Chains A and B, each alone.
Chain A
Amino acid sequence: MTHIPHRLEVENISVAYGDNVILRDISFQVPHGAQIAVVGPNGAGKSTLFKALVGLLPLKNGRILIHGMPLGDHKDCVAYIPQREEVDWRFPVTVTDVVTMGRFNTRGWFARPNRDDHEAVARSLDEMGIANLAKVSISDLSGGQQQRVFLARAIAQEPHILLMDEPFTGVDATTQQVTLNLLDHLRQRQVTAIISTHDLNLAATRFETVMLINKRLVAFGPAKEVLSQENLQKAFGSSLLVMENGAMLVDECCPPDEDHHHP
């Protein structure tokens, strides 16, 4: 077997807010172009892991290497799609403005966007099926459209690694489908994608590799092996219900759907 260089290496990282340790001793390696679903109960530290991976949260210990270099050496190779509630959707910008922000790093912050940037933005909007919304104010978007704006911005960044925090939560069927199609395209382009989700079914059926966490790394590997009864019990504890026929249910409230927007 030929050696495939790892694009993302996480070595023994711990992350804490003050004294409250959220993630402890997490280590894993992600090869070139892999697609990984991150699952775990509420409060398992999925968002925290993503924020640590983009350098938003300081590491208590351990290190993160991208292409063998410490985090921060590469300026624009990691794109992060946060949960939608993290920005103010009444901010006075249009869809194009937001997607163009993904290109700010290409030529310093003073330069006006050039033709390449405009083309990249138009392509991203097209790919996400929101070209018709280009000039719309972001305050007029539905939850699913907001999600697609974020996706378009991330594509416009042309990242090597794309992190998506709960992209399937509280969005319409079209947006789910657009997101899944995007994952297929990213696979062809060899972009590494790491996605957190509450949907174990989706993780099991659409992803070859699954990471199960609950503050610690419970299991990481092929979906079938990771999503075993033993592992799930370890991660979800008493909220896992095992039926006699072997079916497993996770009894957990999803985060509230904040999608009360009426255009």
Chain B
Amino acid sequence: MNFMNVFITPLTYAFMQRGLLAGTMVGVLCAVMGTYVVLRGMAFLGDALAHAIMPGVAIAYLLGGNLLLGALVAAAVVALGIGYFSKQGAVREDTAIGILFAAALSLGVAMISSIRSYAVDLSHILFGNVLGVSPADLWITFGLGTVVLLTVVLLYRPFMVISFDPVLAATLRLPAELLRNVMLLLLALTVVISLQTVGVGLAAAMLITPAATAYLLTRRLAPMMFVSAAIGAISSLAGLYLSYYFNIVSGSAIVLTATAIFLAVFLIKRGRR
């Protein structure tokens, strides 16, 4: 088997083609949104959102509906719920997130555990099943991904100001509250889209790891986004090939690749000091 065949052989399978396409799109999307997650310290929120969409996915699964749609509804409910519990200052925001995401995760697992093929289904939801991506899923991923990326481009400057200096944002009379909510919504969409490839358990890693790596390598926001996107795409592609040849779960392979890149960059940077 020559070298090129290593890359080409898997592509003869339609499911692999779709998996690679979906993986790359999700890798890029997560990495771009992840830039804000890392800079604004929203890692916990991202992780929580990912887990919290479990019940939505489970209900959609049980009813035979579209998983992405179920996830989307659940994400919206949980995001609003976090706002509701923490708004009056009754509980701190991270406490509200902690309560809601654990509850939603438990509810999701409880529902799925009622199905007979419980173990397989649960692992697909938790860790993704990128090789099971349907053509319809691919289009939804593409459509939602385009919406998210376009919004990030359009709101680049306001997002930068509210993230760097909320005080300036207020003196410039930017609608900071609205912008924060839009950002939260984009984050929820991104997490939902990433379900297929890395699952709810690992979505946070795809948000954080490529962006954290890019943070070490760049000094401006736009380059950080591009480098992060490249690392996300490379991790997804390399991870899928690894998953194909070593027969390991795709989500794990993708996240481990991203982690390996982060470690390499971190150690090289540290060695240079």
Chain A residues engaging chain B, CB cutoff 8 angstroms: 51, 54-56, 72, 75-76, 78-80, 82, 86-88, 91-94, 97-98, 101-102, 104-105, 109-110, 137, 139, 153
**How many angstroms from the CA of A157 to the CA of B21 in the assembled complex?**
45
Q: A80-B167, A80-B168, A92-B224 are in contact. List 8 more A-B contacts (CB 8 A).
A: A54-B170, A56-B170, A78-B171, A93-B160, A97-B221, A101-B164, A104-B172, A109-B155
Across the interface, name the chain B residue whose C-beta is closest to A97: B220
B171 with A79: CB separation less than 8 A: yes
Across the interface, name the chain B residue whose C-beta is closest to A89: B164
Across the interface, name the chain B residue whose C-beta is closest to A79: B171
| A110 neighbours in B (Cβ, 8 Å) | 154, 157
Chain B interface, number of residues (Cβ within 8 angstroms) = 24
Query: How far apart are B212's CB and chain A's nearest CB, in angstroms?
Result: 12
Closest 4 interchain pairs by CB? A137-B219, A109-B158, A91-B164, A105-B172
Query: How far apart are A125's CB and chain B's nearest CB, in angstroms?
Result: 17
**How many angstroms from the CA of A136 to the CA of B221 in the assembled complex?**
13
**How many angstroms from the CA of A92 to the CA of B170 in the assembled complex?**
21
The 8 A CB mask of B167-208 against A (1 = contact, 0 = none) is 110111110000000000000000000000000000000000
Which positions 28-48 of chain B face chain A at CB distance < 8 Å?
39
**How many angstroms from the CA of A101 to the CA of B215 in the assembled complex?**
21
| B160 neighbours in A (Cβ, 8 Å) | 93, 97, 101
Across the interface, name the chain A residue whose C-beta is closest to B179: A109
| A76 neighbours in B (Cβ, 8 Å) | 172-173
Query: How far apart are A96's CB and chain B's nearest CB, in angstroms?
Result: 10
Partner of B164, one of A87, A109, A137, A139: A87
**How many angstroms from the CA of A92 to the CA of B216 in the assembled complex?**
10
| A88 neighbours in B (Cβ, 8 Å) | 39, 164
Query: How far apart are B127's CB and chain A's nearest CB, in angstroms?
Result: 32
Query: Given A101-B160, A104-B157, A137-B219, are A91 and B39 also a contact pair (CB < 8 Å)?
Result: yes
| B86 in contact (CB, < 8 A) | no
Query: How far apart are A57's CB and chain B's nearest CB, in angstroms?
Result: 10
B170 with A55: CB separation less than 8 A: yes
| B164 neighbours in A (Cβ, 8 Å) | 87-88, 91, 93, 98, 101
B165 with A87: CB separation less than 8 A: yes
A92 with B174: CB separation less than 8 A: no
Across the interface, name the chain B residue whose C-beta is closest to A86: B167
| B157 neighbours in A (Cβ, 8 Å) | 101, 104, 109-110
The 8 A CB mask of B133-167 against A (1 = contact, 0 = none) is 00000000000000000000011011011011101
| A105 neighbours in B (Cβ, 8 Å) | 172-173
| B95 in contact (CB, < 8 A) | no
**How many angstroms from the CA of A82 to the CA of B170 in the assembled complex?**
12
Query: Given A55-B170, A80-B167, are A104 and B218 also a contact pair (CB < 8 Å)?
Result: no
Query: Given A92-B215, A94-B220, are A72 and B168 also a contact pair (CB < 8 Å)?
Result: no
Query: Given A104-B157, A137-B219, are A91 and B163 also a contact pair (CB < 8 Å)?
Result: yes
| A54 neighbours in B (Cβ, 8 Å) | 167, 170-171
A56 with B167: CB separation less than 8 A: yes
Query: Given A78-B171, A104-B172, A109-B158, are A92 and B221 also a contact pair (CB < 8 Å)?
Result: yes
